[in-house]
């Protein structure tokens, strides 16, 4: 008894008009669903923009106008303004940003990698080892970096203290937004 290949295409004569019609309906249904998904994604994108506008612009501006940083409404909702700092050092400011951190006593934020990773509080030790290896003629490479979350926390803390920090150097943007609980 010969086995039939389950993946072989049936001959065109074996497909009747009714089956072709069903296939066409599936194709139309698929296209309709694709269009519906695209429309829903566009609507979601617009809703997210509107939400950001309300939570980062409308409510904070209105509360600041009223001289409020938090309030409990009569229905029990609590609205509080919080500030979050987003930061990512632009490549064109990288060296200058690292120099600023070192020269302003914040080198401990920098991680220096020399064929191994040193923690943010071990910068001075790592740099010394790197300099000694280089001076001895060893072929070593290093990589300095500040994790974006560490940088954002540091910048937020500095801003809260009132310390002048060159935000543009760090690609930083503090955003005040309303939080409802």
Q: Is the dihedral of CA 20, 26, 29, 33 positive or negative?
A: negative
- Output 169 or 144, whichever has higher pLDDT: 169
Q: Is the dihedral of CA 9, 12, 15, 17 positive or negative?
A: positive
- State pLDDT tens for residues 23-74: 999 999 999 999 999 999 999 999 999 999 999 999 999 999 999 999 999 9
pLDDT value, residue 12: 59
Give the Cα separation of 158 and 71 in Å (integer).
26
pTM over 0.85: no
Enumerate the domain spans of the chain: 15-68, 78-180
pLDDT band at 105 (very low <50, low <70, confident <90, very high): very high
**3-class DSSP string for 124-160:** HHHHHHHHHHHHCCCCCCCEEECCHHHHHHHHHHHHH
Give the Cα separation of 22 and 12 in Å (integer).
15
Cα angle at 160 between 158 and 163, to 5 degrees?
45
């Amino acid at each position: 008894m010969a086995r039939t290949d389950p993946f072989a295409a049936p001959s065109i004569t074996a497909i009747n008009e009714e089956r072709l019609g069903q296939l066409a309906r599936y194709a139309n249904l698929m296209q309709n669903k694709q269009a519906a998904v695209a429309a829903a994604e566009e609507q979601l994108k617009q809703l997210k923009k509107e939400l950001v506008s309300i939570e980062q612009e409308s409510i904070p501006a209105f509360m600041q106008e009223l001289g409020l940083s938090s309030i409990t409404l009569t229905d029990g909702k609590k609205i509080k303004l919080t500030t979050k700092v987003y930061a990512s050092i632009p490549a064109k400011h990288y060296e200058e940003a690292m120099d600023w951190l070192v020269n302003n006593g914040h080198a401990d934020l920098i991680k220096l990698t020399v064929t191994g990773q040193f923690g943010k509080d071990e910068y001075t030790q790592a740099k010394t080892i790197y300099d000694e290896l280089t001076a001895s003629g060893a072929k070593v490479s290093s990589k300095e970096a500040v994790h974006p979350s560490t940088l954002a926390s540091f910048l937020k803390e500095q801003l809260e203290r009132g310390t002048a920090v060159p935000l543009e150097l760090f690609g930083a943007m503090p955003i005040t937004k309303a939080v409802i609980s």
